[in-house]
Amino acid sequence: MSKLVAPHGGKGLVCCLLEGSAREAELKKAAGLKQIEISARAKGDLIMMGIGGFSPLSGFMTKADWKGVCENFQMADGTFWPVPITLDVTAAEAEGIAVGSEIALVRKGETFATMKVTEKFAMSAADKKWECEKVFRGQGEDSIGDKFWEVAEKDHPGVIMVMAQKDVNIAGPVKVLSEGEYPKEYPGVYLKPAETRKMFDERGWANVAALQLRNPMHRSHEYLAKIAVEVCDGVLIHSLIGNLKPGDIPADVRVKAIDILINKYFVKENIINGGYPLDMRYAGPREGLLHATFRQNYGVNNMLIGRDHAGVGDFYGLFEAQDIFDRIPNTGNPAKDLLCRPMKIDWTFYCTECDGMASLRTCPHGKESRVILSGTKLRKALSEGAPIVDHFGRNEVLDHLKIYYAGLTEKVEVKMQGAASGAKM
């Protein structure tokens, strides 16, 4: 009998992925259906619905779900969910799709799913702006008053993505037919929730933490993981292997960097290196909640949340992604509520006076003694060929990353926000 936290939503793992003869039959049917080209974001969402990562979702959200999620963190039936999972089409495409009909969802020539359309709803510019205000606006400097829209439409990847969406959303259940490139490109790292749950059960884990990564592991990430190892049965280092914004480091480079670190600086029996197939939304606190929600499906009951989790620019307060867990609805029904809880860790850094990793809760020394660690700061230094401050990362990892940057023919400017620079400490 598994001791792990139950999947979110009270229905077990809801997996929409077809296999074997059922998949072949559905692919054959899909060839005769209206073909809708989907975004990279929708592709990742579909795969997560396919493997059970987005349980209890079995399709794209209705208008009532969309509105409830944006407004109250709850779908129409009261189940907690922090960000909209929607599918957009053009007005012309929507005219040719009848409610009740089936369509094929494709990307770059590959059929990812079929979908039975149960609803269509228009998304005006005002609707998109409202979604952005609810989902992406935080408490940081770039979110204050009129500055949010002055900055966000140019510099916030999530806002840019939503405002560029087509004018109609369609809702309905899906049958997923492909996991894309992930099983082939990331064998042993791309893991389904059923697989991580089996791994945890085999190791006898009941209390599991997850560390979310979109950057290579530096000393602060390592410290967070080791804090969790001390108080939990084990840790899933869980990297995003979908799309990132320009200038971020590709998944294969990050995965290898994690392996280098695990092999030399961790007790391997207490750590699992895994990846999941989503694109970043850069929704800060809301995305922190999403990370906890789908980690629950993977069998995780503790989500490590540090400084500026899933943030971008200066849109969010440094620890807003921790505080938001205290503001979400709690119905008292474990089938409806979020069961994965945050592990709230203060700002961490290397202190030359302490001669080791520390946090604002443990270190009494001043800023002059602290090596501020952030993925953005590391990427900026590497992209500019600047020297890396001592104790920023493990030498083996930094050597690996330097090889990657040396091979780049085109580099993207990395902007330094206050949270990454240490200016707000």
Q: Please, are residues 346 and 308 in contact by the beta-carbon 8 Å criterion?
A: no
Tokens of 359: 């946090």
- Contacts for 416-419 with beta carbons within 8 Å, 24 or more apart? 416/376, 416/377, 416/380, 417/311, 417/312, 417/313, 417/314, 417/376, 418/141, 418/314, 419/140, 419/307, 419/308, 419/311, 419/314, 419/316, 419/318, 419/374
215 is catalytic: yes
Given a contact cutoff of 8 angstroms between Cβ atoms, the answer to whether 341 and 303 are in contact is yes
Distance (Å, whole) CA 167 – CA 94: 9
Asked about 214 being catalytic, the answer comes back as yes
Which of 137, 214, 286, 295 is catalytic? The answer is 214
Which residues are CB-neighbours of 174 under 8 A, at least 6 positions away? 16, 46, 49, 58, 59, 60, 105, 113, 114, 115
The β-bridge relationship of strands 208-213 and 102-107 is unpaired
Q: Which of 169, 215, 273, 297 is catalytic?
A: 215
Q: Which amino acid is at 56?
A: P
How far is residue 102 from each of residues 59, 99, 164, 206, 393, measured CA to CA in Å?
Answer: 13, 9, 25, 41, 51
Closest CA to 245 of 380, 414, 405: 414
Catalytic positions, please? 214-215
